[in-house]
Chains A and B, each alone.
Chain A
């Protein structure tokens, strides 16, 4: 084996406060860029109607790759938080499928940064609340507690998708449509 073995090595954790403050700043920054700047306008137009954006002379493919890379950087920050602050260690499979929640959150937030913040705190809050209720000795089967964050997500998702028009208006209309120049 080359280099240092990281699995099972204790990590001197960072204080989570920097991350918490940073996460709020990032949400504000992303919202500002998306809705208040020219770059944001280009990004949104590429998502809404790539042919029009292309006709206006924007490089659709480059924009899409760059935004995906930005998403990758944000996800890696989340991973960094897990292994540096949340549980300061590195072990294989330590995210335990948490990344899927990020996907659900985007639908939950209907692609709006501020709503994403609310959704993330509802989900995280319910997850912690159920542990506190358990430790207080509330007499309910443990399965119900473990289900709580997911039930909360489902209820909100049902509420949001109850109005099809609302869902349609909020999702980028070129979502999942590949861009081809010669069409």
Chain B
């Protein structure tokens, strides 16, 4: 049971923990942290927080309810995190994948581009139509960096490779993601790569009999034949280390 002396750690999620992608892996990280630190911490999360002014309210709510450390787990929470952090200088904030910091705001990310490079290599070797479909969310540094790393590695092993890109302007919209995957497959893509959070594209690939990569977590359960491999985001050890320090 939590008591007043415990450290309280809060999380802001962009999607539901049940997305089996990005948010799911942050939630797995949060649970890992709880297991590692046991009763000395208690955690709270707010899910489905939109990346607009509403995020300020959610972050402020965590700050006002006595949280010592707050993780905001999406790129577009950057300005909102800084805004709340200025009001609460004694609380520590950790913002995922951004580039602006303050004394009490730090940035954490992963070298996703290394994973993108590996799957780019695989895709370059595996494609038969030399066309790869890539579903992307927003034009932010992390996403663009991912496309470039993927393309560089793919074109190195297969100079004829072409990448078709569809921007869906959403992190999580299974319907739109499935539509994008089907459009790309209809236009000759035989490998589907995604930088959105649901497993709908992988499932669409499974249905069409083409190949795909999982996103953020192992999604083999949803597309056993299409799924080649996935970049898995393992946040747990970082979360646990930060919780110990705070």
Query: Which of chain B's residues has its CB closest to A136's CB?
Result: B187
Query: Which of chain A's residues has its CB closest to B48's CB?
Result: A93
Interface string of A118-139 (1 = CB under 8 A from B): 0000000001100110111100
State which size class the interface on A falls in. Answer: 20 to 34
18 inter-chain pairs at a CB distance below 8 angstroms, sorted by A residue, are: A7-B18, A8-B18, A8-B20, A13-B207, A86-B178, A87-B200, A87-B203, A89-B200, A93-B48, A96-B175, A98-B175, A131-B166, A131-B180, A131-B183, A134-B167, A135-B183, A137-B164, A146-B169
Is B51 at the interface (CB under 8 A from chain A)? Answer: no
Is A75 at the interface (CB under 8 A from chain B)? Answer: no
Interface residues of A in 1-58 (CB under 8 A from B): 7-8, 10, 13
Indicate if the CB atoms of A96 and B167 lie closer than 8 Å: no
Complex Cα gap A127–B166 (Å): 12
Interface residues of B in 180-194 (CB under 8 A from A): 180, 183-184, 187
Is A113 at the interface (CB under 8 A from chain B)? Answer: no
Residue among A7, A8, A131 with the most chain B CB within 10 A? A131
| Chain B hits for A10, CB < 8 A | 203, 221-222
Interface string of B176-214 (1 = CB under 8 A from A): 111110011001000000000011100110010000000
Complex Cα gap A145–B136 (Å): 13
| Chain B hits for A102, CB < 8 A | none
Please name 19 further chain A to chain B contacts, defined as beta carbons within 8 Å, in addition to the given A8-B222, A87-B200, A142-B167, sorted by A numbering: A10-B222, A87-B174, A89-B198, A92-B18, A92-B19, A93-B48, A93-B172, A95-B175, A96-B175, A127-B176, A128-B179, A131-B166, A131-B180, A131-B183, A132-B187, A143-B169, A146-B167, A146-B168, A146-B169
Is B142 at the interface (CB under 8 A from chain A)? Answer: no
Complex Cα gap A91–B169 (Å): 19
**Partner-A contacts on B (CB < 8 A):** 15-16, 18-20, 48, 133, 139, 164-170, 172-180, 183-184, 187, 198-200, 203-204, 207, 221-222
Is A88 at the interface (CB under 8 A from chain B)? Answer: yes
Complex Cα gap A82–B179 (Å): 12
Assuming A87-B174, A96-B176, is B16 touching A128 (CB within 8 A)?
Answer: no
3 tightest CB-CB pairs across the interface, nearest first?
A: A142-B167, A92-B16, A96-B173
B135 to chain A, nearest CB (A): 10
Complex Cα gap A86–B172 (Å): 15
Contact of A89 among B168, B170, B183, B199 (CB under 8 A): B199
A93 to chain B, nearest CB (A): 6
Complex Cα gap A131–B178 (Å): 11
